[in-house]
Structure 1
Amino acid sequence: MTMNEMGARAKTAARALANAGPLKETALLRAAQALWERREELLAANAQDMEAGKERGMSRALLDRLALTEARVQSMARAVEEVAQAADPVGRVLSGETRPNGLRIEKVTVPLGVIGIIYEARPNVTSDAAALCLKAGNAVILRGGKEAFRSNQAVANVLRDALEEAGLPADCVQLVEDTSRQSAQELMALTDYLDVLIPRGGAGLIRSVKENARVPVIETGVGNCHVYVDRAADLDMAAEIIYNAKTSRPSVCNAIETILVHEEAAREALPKIKARLDEKRVELRGCEKARAILPGIAPAAEEDWETEYLDYILAVKVVSSLEEALEHIHRYSTRHSECIVTQDYTAAQRFLNEVDSAAVYVNASTRFTDGGEFGLGAEIGISTQKLHARGPMGLEQLVSYKFLIRGSGQVR
Structure 2
Amino acid sequence: MDSAKNLPLAVIGAGPVGLAAAAHLIERGLEPLIFEAGPSAGAAIEQWRHIRLFSPWRFNIDAAAVRLLEADGWKSPRPTALPSGGELVDNYLAPLAALPAISSQLQTGARVIAVTRAGMDKTHTRNRDTIPFVVRVEHEDGETRDHTVAGVIDASGTWSIRNPLGTSGLPAIGEDSATDRISSPLPDVTGRDRASFAGRRVLAVGAGHSAANTLISLADLAKEEPDTRILWAVRGQLGARLRRLVEAGTIELHTGFGIASLKALDSGVTVRAVDGRTLDADVVVPCTGFRPDLDILRELRLDLDPAVEAPRELGPLIDPEFHSCGTVPPHGARLLAHPDQDFYIVGMKSYGRAPTFLLATGYEQVRSVVAARSGDREAADTVQLELPETGVCSSDAGTSCDVPAAAAVATESSCCAAPEPVLVGFPTGLSHGRSGGNN
TM-score (norm 1): 0.29
Structure showing greater Rg: 1
TM-score (norm 2): 0.27
